[in-house]
A and B are shown apart, each in its own frame.
Chain A
Amino acid sequence: MKSQLFKKISIVLLLFFFILTAGCSGDKTTQPEQNPIKIGLLVPYTGVFASNGYDITRGIELYFDEIGWKAAGLEIKLLKEDSEMKGPVALQKARRLVESEQIDILTGIVSSSVAYALRDYIVANEVPLILANAGAAELTKEQGSKYIFRVSFANGQYEYPMGDYVFNELKLGKITVLAPDYAAGHEKAQGFMDGFKTSGGEIIQEIYPPLGTTDFGPYLAQINKDADAVWVHFSGTDSISFVNQYAEYGLKDKIPLLSSGDLVDESSLPHQGDAPIGIISSHHYSAALNTPENQKYVKDYRAKYNDDPNMFSEQGYVAARVTVEAIEALEGDISDTEKLLSSIKKVEFKAPRGPFSFDPKTQNVIFDTYIRKTEKIDGKLRNTVIHTIPADKNPWYLLK
């Protein structure tokens, strides 16, 4: 009797053992010939920022569709993982992608905190990382590495030049600033304020509501009525609530609203009603850009997804193209990581947003900044480009 009991316990233990091993075992043995190119994609698919993850994925898949999922004759495999916007989770997923799947390049990464969490691991394991959104300026400065590239933006990169435009072109001298109370919010606001003050403007008030604020009413009532304009940075759910409530509290007709492009990005625009009309913003992209590259991109994107592209999908699209161009320049031989890195660094092309290249020193993207005005044309909101600040005229690039 007793031995039978032991048998049962052993079975339970064995089951436990199997559960453990089922999830963990299986290093794929690598075949030397005709290996597909493996690209790891780490973005949030759950939680508040899930839409950013899906948009980046859409941009990437659109580009791979265009080229038939082949680079230099080799098949491309895209391995998607949910980062949940949490550092430790992202690190665990990166371990799987790098150690079990042996990816060649990692891309995605929406939040800077996740990028910081991955940094040491990426560098130690010598995996090229192409950031498709995370904006902390440090990631391509002091915390930079030859393994880290960024195709999106550094916080401040398109906010800084707006300061000069607001003071000298729009002739607005006194400004109230609002941004969410977290690192990226502060960094973006600082970028604008530095640019604005350098040009001679005055910041009369700064307000930092917590990230994820839905009720802005209490903050809106505090805005200084002497301000010539209000500059804000909000994105995602915050951007929708803020723009709607700014109009609701009667401020839209009293104090002009200026913003980083994120506030009225095409990802938020359809959900903001008519409230954003008239907002002037700076960004590295607009779906309304009139270049042939962008018109083709927008057309293809609409055909595939029945939706307008936005900053995130464009960043994904560019990240995908960077990887493919780098691999093709090496004719598919990416066995030498050093060569792959220098090949990525040299990639240059005309992206939907305009001319794209990397700064060889920091490996951060170089782009033109667009000043846009949100308008309603044919019953649909769009961000019309009213002014372009070319990269070589943007003083941000000269900052230390």
Chain B
Amino acid sequence: MDSAQIIIQALNGLSYGLLLFLLATGLSLIFGLMGVINLAHGSFYMLGAYVGLAIINLTGNFVLALLGAALILAFVGILVERFFIQRLYKRELDQVLLTFGFAYIFMDVAKWIWGGTPRSLPKPPFLNSSLNILGEAFPVYRIAMIIIGLFVALALWLFLERTRVGAVIRAGVDDQEMVKAMGINIKIFFTGIFALGAFLAAFGGVIGGPIMGAYLGLDFNILVLALAVVVVGGLGTLKGAFWGSILIGFIETFGKVFFINFAIVTIYIAMALILIFKPAGLLGKEESY
């Protein structure tokens, strides 16, 4: 493998990892703050892709699809949180059943509206070309994915580190009782974080649409990857989700290069090894949950 190939594969890994970051960061924050394992998180991603495609077909505008799908799914997220999840705090098994139930429903609703045929989202025309890197072609769209992923990561970091709301959320992850004792209504933050998670997942669904497409079953395929990211990085932190995503992106990509016959399990082998030696993830705190 020459250096050009290594660069191409590294860019592949980075773009894939940052796509996973969009999905995983919401899952991680929801878990960290609310203690909820949201099994419907992949469904928000999948529905995001479908809704995005519908908006593109209607308006032909990719950016509009991106924001429209994310906002619509964020609203769905608010409904799910306010009317259902809010009744189930601290009841982990019931949360599993509830979010699994929603995953089933969302999958069937998607089938009902859009049929079973797998689809693909068209790329915005101005990104539909490829770049020459040391004689190898690399799609411009994936460069755009990397830039968007980094931008979102930076925005989230600023939000969590530099704003009052962000400070409350971080405090809530660390010590919820203390936040409550300070007289802050944490329930509103729960709804907000859940909506933000749904927003980012749907956003990722549209961004990933031209590559992953939209199909039934995408929800669980992507959920497993996002869970792997969250667990490898350590639950509840932006930093963990970020580095976990990049690591999983690279493992997936280079697994396809070096262990071509075992690409189906590289991610699981890596996950098991990490958890055997670091039972609470790479950046997680040993005693947390």
A contact residues vs B (CB 8 Å cutoff): 45-48, 50-51, 53-54, 181, 207-210, 212-215, 217-219, 221-222, 236-237, 240-241, 244-245, 248-251, 267-268, 271-273
Contacts and interface: CB of A to CB of B under 8 A. Distances in A.
B12 interface: yes
Contacts of A46: 107-108, 111, 216
B264 A214 contact: no
B210 A244 contact: yes
Contact of B217 (A48, A210, A271): A48
Report which residue of A50, A51, A248 has the largest number of chain B beta carbons within 10 angstroms of its beta carbon. A248
Interface of B: 5, 8-9, 12-13, 15-16, 107-108, 111, 115-120, 122, 130, 136-139, 141-142, 210-213, 215-218, 221, 252-254, 256-257, 260-261, 263-264
Nearest to B1: A222
B12 A210 contact: no
18 contacts: A46-B108, A47-B217, A48-B215, A50-B111, A51-B116, A51-B117, A208-B261, A212-B217, A215-B12, A215-B212, A215-B252, A218-B254, A218-B256, A221-B257, A240-B120, A245-B139, A249-B138, A267-B117
A250 B138 CA distance: 8
Nearest to B217: A48
Contacts of B254: 218
Nearest to A210: B264
A204 to B, nearest CB: 15
B12 A240 contact: no
A217 B12 CA distance: 7
Contacts of B12: 215, 217-218, 221
A225 B130 CA distance: 18
A204 B72 CA distance: 49
B156 to A, nearest CB: 24
B69 to A, nearest CB: 18
B216 A50 contact: yes
Contacts of A50: 111, 116, 216
Contacts of B16: 215, 217
A47 to B, nearest CB: 5
Contacts of B221: 212, 214
A209 B122 CA distance: 24
Contact of B118 (A54, A219, A240, A250): A240
A53 B122 CA distance: 26
Contacts of B211: 214-215, 241, 244-245
Contacts of B139: 245, 248-249
A267 B120 CA distance: 13
Contacts of A207: 260
B253 A217 contact: yes
A236 B116 CA distance: 11
B130 A244 contact: no
Contacts of B216: 46-48, 50
A244 B128 CA distance: 11
A241 B217 contact: no
A271 B111 contact: no
Give the interface centre of B141, B212, B215, B216 by most chain A CB atoms within 10 Å: B215
A51 B214 CA distance: 13
B116 A210 contact: no
Contact of A241 (B142, B212, B253): B212
A214 B210 CA distance: 10
A48 to B, nearest CB: 4
B120 to A, nearest CB: 5
Contacts of A240: 118-120, 213
Nearest to B263: A210
A272 B257 CA distance: 26
A45 B116 CA distance: 8
Nearest to A241: B213
B95 to A, nearest CB: 24
Nearest to A249: B137
A273 B107 CA distance: 25
A223 to B, nearest CB: 11
B138 A273 contact: no
Contacts of B264: 181, 210
A250 B139 CA distance: 8
A208 B260 contact: yes
Contacts of B263: 181, 209-210, 213
Contact of B120 (A181, A210, A241): A241
A373 to B, nearest CB: 22
B162 to A, nearest CB: 34
Nearest to B19: A215
Given A221-B5, A221-B136, A250 B130 contact: yes
Contacts of A250: 130, 137
Contacts of A215: 12, 16, 211-212, 252-253
